[in-house]
Amino acid sequence: MYKRTKIIATLGPASSDAETISGLIQAGATVFRINFSHGEPEEHKERARLVREEAEKLSANVALLGDLQGPKIRIAGFRKGSAKLVEGAEFALDTKHPADEGDETVVGCSYQSLPADCQPGQTLLLDDGRLQLQIESIDDTRIHTKVIVGGVLYPKKGINLLGGGLSAPALTEKDLKDLDVATDMEIDYLAISFPRTAEDMHYARECAEKAGCKARLIAKIERAETVADDKTLDDIICASDAVMVARGDLGVEIGDAGLIGVQKKIIRRARQLNRSVITATQMMETMIENSIPTRAEVFDVANAVLDGTDAVMLSAETATGKHPITVVEAMSRIALGAEKQRSTQVSGHRMDRQFQETEDAIAMASMYAANHMPHVKAIICLTESGNTPLLMSRIRSGIPIFAMSEHQSTLNRMALFRGVIPRYYDISGNNRNTLLSDAVEQLKGNGFLSKGDIVLGTRGDQVGEGGMTNTLKIFEV
């Protein structure tokens, strides 16, 4: 049984050498995340180069995901390195306070619009919600608060407003500079942090196109506003090529109690709207230090797999953790275990819907036939853009989808799709009338298929043009 759920590994100091990257690919990672919040451009470029180099050695198709920092709103620094906030004490945030002169009574903040975005009675959350401040009053650039939940506060920790409402733009000046770096690296996916609306994603796409970046855009769902109503969420999903359930800041803003229901809803809606979806943040966090996961982490990963997520993402676990390869191996085992459940292999997706596009109808017909015919071993999809395999992968099935293309960018893109196995296939030297049978022979030669296997194949009459899939064939190897 092959693993259908994809694994995203974040690169960092613990995973910057060729041997480790090779080990991560062999352990099951198919997407590598480069976090622009940390590190320098040259470090990012070198890691990207190593990923491409090691993937080529292993004949593996992997994607590079660049994650822009976005408008993460943070406090400034402290004169003594940190400050202890005591419950019930007064504490202020001031946008004009000197950057490194904070103490137990006040700290600076570079986000100049913070006072305008807040109102008395609201709650500010610092350091991922570990400290909580109730706003008492606002005086020009200074926000006066009372400490509700205290603790030690360190420099550069994030600020969230309970319930959302901070108006920071989707892309900062740093993001625009990093976008140029991502373009040079030929990133396959670009994650946009803290978008509030579909307009933020449209703006990000305009900026990417202006920079010459051809990456697919991922909306990181991490603001309360994005999940406040169905229309806003659906609009953001439709404005993106994929979405990420970024549970860190999202959990802080909406509260942990509501997070699991929202996660399930985002996964469900993304699949219904034919978008890929990633589940992220603290999935195997204890494995930063430990060599085995907790039972809670096992259940967390498995539940995301059962819900139908395309990918599960590792952050510090592979970027700075002690066991980067071991954690990917553990996550692969968990995903495989969850995928054995019958619920992951049956689907009622779009059974009551009409189709406007031919490739949509072919994708649905293929998966319906595969799921209802006995002994079907594989689906072979010849593709230019990767769109037909994406549509197929929205339908739950235990049958592998071999998506075959001659375009490396398409193969990389499909490394994120659940249940899809990208394979290079050069159509230039093949007879157009025998493309599917020649593809079968290639897969047979690679050990994926055997004589007598029943397979389904799809292709388009207009070879070389995307969006033209119009043929479904069922045959025996």
Would you say residue 309 has pLDDT above 70? yes
Catalytic-role residue among 4, 33, 205, 247: 33
Q: What is the mean pLDDT of residues 268-289?
A: 96
Distance CA 233, CA 262 (A): 11
Give the model's pLDDT for residue 72: 82
Q: What is the mean pLDDT of residues 320-335?
A: 98
pLDDT grade for 168, boundaries at 50, 70 and 90? confident
Q: What is the mean pLDDT of residues 66-77?
A: 93
Q: What secondary structure letter does DSSP report for 333?
A: H
Report CA-CA distances (Å) from 281 to 35, 242, 312, 466.
13, 17, 9, 35
pLDDT grade for 2, boundaries at 50, 70 and 90? confident
Is 342 an annotated catalytic residue?
Answer: no
Distance CA 420, CA 30 (A): 11
The share of the chain scoring above pLDDT 90, in percent, equals 81
Could you read off the pLDDT of 383-439 as tens digits, one per residue? 999 999 999 999 989 999 999 999 999 999 999 999 999 999 987 766 667 889 889
Q: What is the mean pLDDT of residues 155-174?
A: 90
Catalytic-role residue among 5, 20, 226, 281: 281
Please tell me whether residue 360 adopts helix, strand or coil conformation. Answer: helix
Give the model's pLDDT for residue 356: 75
Give the model's pLDDT for residue 287: 98
Is 281 an annotated catalytic residue?
Answer: yes
pLDDT grade for 25, boundaries at 50, 70 and 90? very high
Is 156 an annotated catalytic residue?
Answer: no
Would you say residue 378 has pLDDT above 60? yes
Burial 240-278 (b: 16+ CB within 10 A, else e): bbbbbbbbbbbbbbbeeeebeebbbebbebbbeebbbbb
pLDDT grade for 167, boundaries at 50, 70 and 90? confident
Q: 13-17, 379-383, 472-476 — which is least confidently predicted?
A: 472-476
User: 171-178: which pairs have CB atoms within 8 A and are 24 or more residues apart?
Assistant: 171/68, 171/70, 171/203, 171/204, 171/207, 172/69, 172/70, 172/71, 174/36, 174/69, 175/36, 175/68, 175/69, 175/70, 176/207, 176/211, 178/36, 178/41, 178/66, 178/68, 178/69
Is 74 an annotated catalytic residue?
Answer: yes
pLDDT grade for 166, boundaries at 50, 70 and 90? confident
Beta-carbon count within 10 A of 44 CB? 23
Beta-carbon count within 10 A of 115 CB? 19
Catalytic-role residue among 45, 74, 142, 444: 74
Tokens 């994708």 locate to 363
Compute the mean pLDDT over every residue in the chain, rounded to the nearest whole number: 93
Distance CA 245, CA 280 (A): 6
- Strand 276-280 with 159-161, pairing: unpaired
Give the model's pLDDT for residue 145: 98
Catalytic-role residue among 52, 72, 220, 413: 220
Question: Tokens standing for 389?
Answer: 């395999």
Q: What is the mean pLDDT of residues 66-83?
A: 94
Would you say residue 304 has pLDDT above 90? yes
Distance CA 375, CA 474 (A): 12
